[in-house]
Amino acid sequence: MGNPMHEIVLASTSPYRAQLLQRLHLPFTTAAPQVDEARLPDEEAAALVQRLAEAKARAVADIHPDALIIGSDQSASHQGRILGKPGNAERAREQLASLSGGTVTFHTGLCLLDAPSGKTRVADVEYIVSFRPLSDAEIRAYVALDNPVDCAGSFKSEGLGVSLFERMEGADPTALVGLPLIRLCQWLREAGIAMPPAEEH
């Protein structure tokens, strides 16, 4: 699957995912996938994120037919309920109040699509966050300072959100931010791309 000469495309406009991918020191471009992200009836979080990660990658394949395309999607679940992005500060506060003292499972779907061959690798990478009990004052202060309105679960783990947690569990902390780099590096190596990349001379 793939070869070292492939262009790499991140099928996302998320600044968080782009920042993560920059850690790998690989040249890449980004593309905005046009995908209906609505959940299917009774669709579980793990199935949802894998389906959307692949759909996002395939959505930009026509524009980048010779590329390795990375798609990703994330969802959070709490007590069997899927959490969306709050969208505003009031909903972020409500979401955090409901999570106080509870545990959230984050599902991050990852897809690597070899556009020339059409071959895909798709996975769901889980990460579990346990919140400490949070007071209304703490929730208000956190939302005002970190403004997590575009984050599922209403927090930024790479920011002040870490102050809300009791513990974090998972194989890959980058999955929590939105792009599981450990799994991605494995797939890129299997696709023939040196990781870490070779030094330029």
**Greater model confidence, 69 or 80:** 69
138-150: pLDDT as tens digits? 999 999 999 999 8
How far CA 13 is from CA of 82, 124, 131, 147, 194, in Å, comes to 22, 20, 29, 19, 25
For residue 199, being part of any structural domain is answered with no
Catalytic residues: 73
For residue 195, being part of any structural domain is answered with no
1-10: pLDDT as tens digits? 444 457 999 9
> What is the span of the domain harbouring residue 126?
7-190
For residue 41, being part of any structural domain is answered with yes
Rounded to a whole number of angstroms, the CA Rg of the chain reads: 18
What CATH number is associated with residue 107? 3.90.950.10
Task: Return the sign of the alpha-carbon dihedral for residues 39, 40, 43, 47.
Answer: negative
For residue 196, being part of any structural domain is answered with no
Closest CA to 183 of 106, 77, 76, 70: 70
Closest CA to 104 of 76, 133, 132: 76
85-122: pLDDT as tens digits? 899 999 999 999 999 999 999 999 999 999 999 999 99
Q: What is the pLDDT of residue 201?
A: 42
For residue 158, being part of any structural domain is answered with yes
For residue 201, being part of any structural domain is answered with no
For residue 42, being part of any structural domain is answered with yes
Give the separation between CA 31 and CA 107, rounded to whole angstroms. Answer: 22
Q: What is the pLDDT of residue 158?
A: 82
For residue 198, being part of any structural domain is answered with no
Q: How many domains does the chain have?
A: 1
Q: What is the pLDDT of residue 80?
A: 85
